[in-house]
Structure 1
């Protein structure tokens, strides 16, 4: 029993160290490619907007969603991006992140013809890989919150993609502790995905980005 306890303790300690190191490495290795100021952000033809739910409990708008859409609209109007891929989850007829993003951006004055909807962005890994393999983009700007951008950039760079990111406005402290904890655990998973597990993204659709 003592040996079992020591083994379990050792495994737990190793797991904690692995999670910490992965988080440090993902953030450290991508920090120079994540931009916070519009005037310092290099221009790119294409932006990849990572999806999240439009609403939270009791129908209130999700601030992560709101701020991402506002950031996307601003970058488009400032001429920092020309075309937009909206990638998110569409696992039922009642839940459609790409369509929700499109509607929000239309309300913010972004024209429909510059937007392409990717309905198979079930995970960040899928969204990034599909942007390259399905939509034939090897250089683009990722738009999400700062904490999420680090993981997306890490995946992109490990997949040979020349990506940068823009950090949308962050939410107030304590707004969603669950989201931050999930992200903290998702980064080690991203490291395992790109270096060991190599999950298969859905590459069946081949829709081209609409051009002017």
Structure 2
């Protein structure tokens, strides 16, 4: 490697480190005061937004999303939110995050009319932006792990929501979030379009958003 090439590589590495560090600093700084692990510290909001994660082929929830749903239901039962919005991926018939999350919330005692499903929550930006445009949510609590919460709340506020974050007991892995915040800051800045759909206001009946009856796995 020549001295010139080595210098270029060093400049690129320094620039990358500065970009990653800067993006993380911005996202964490502007959301730190909006995050808590205590439900009682939150202002009341219209809905809890629960981003999807691993759901097994038999419809059972992975550990990460199970904790998100449990935390959101506890928040709902405490009266801090009026509705639950289960937002996840249903890109394949055998991968239906929202219905599995909804079924778990119903089994935990949430009223059917208070549980909404969003089948196009392909990533966090889609989940929070569609919460605003499709479900007409104006105030929300995003329920996720401590590592992911700064990015999720930052995106929710960029989407036009009066958003707070409630963190689950599981802190979650932090390594990949360091890079995810760079992408998240880009989405919060550029605000790309998301998949649309008919408006289903969050103050209505959640069952209008269901694609199928509870208890059925897959398509």
TM-score strictly above 0.5:
yes
Which one of 197, 201, 204 corresponds to residue 204 of structure 1?
197
TM-score by length of 2: 0.85
Greater helix percent: which structure?
Answer: 1
Q: Which residue of 1 aligns with 2:85?
A: 85
User: What is the rounded CA distance, in whole Å, between the counterparts of 1:8 and 1:199 in structure 2?
Assistant: 31
Q: 1:58-73 alignment to 2 at 5 Å?
A: 62-73=62-73
- Aligned structure 1 segments of 4 or more residues deviating by more than 6 angstroms: none
Contact 2:60/2:100, CA 8 A, preserved across alignment: no
Q: Which residue of 1 aligns with 2:6?
A: 5
User: What is the rounded CA distance, in whole Å, between the counterparts of 2:80 and 2:12 in structure 1?
Assistant: 47
CA drift at 1:60: 8.4
CA drift at 1:55: 4.2
User: What is the rounded CA distance, in whole Å, between the counterparts of 1:72 and 1:183 in structure 2?
Assistant: 22
Contact 2:23/2:185, CA 8 A, preserved across alignment: yes
Q: Which residue of 1 aligns with 2:167?
A: 167
User: What is the rounded CA distance, in whole Å, between the counterparts of 1:112 and 1:65 in structure 2?
Assistant: 19
CA drift at 1:160: 3.4
User: What is the rounded CA distance, in whole Å, between the counterparts of 2:66 and 2:22 in structure 1?
Assistant: 32
Contact 1:49/1:144, CA 8 A, preserved across alignment: yes
CA drift at 1:61: 5.2
SS in 2 for 1:84: strand
User: What is the rounded CA distance, in whole Å, between the counterparts of 1:134 and 1:61 in structure 2?
Assistant: 25
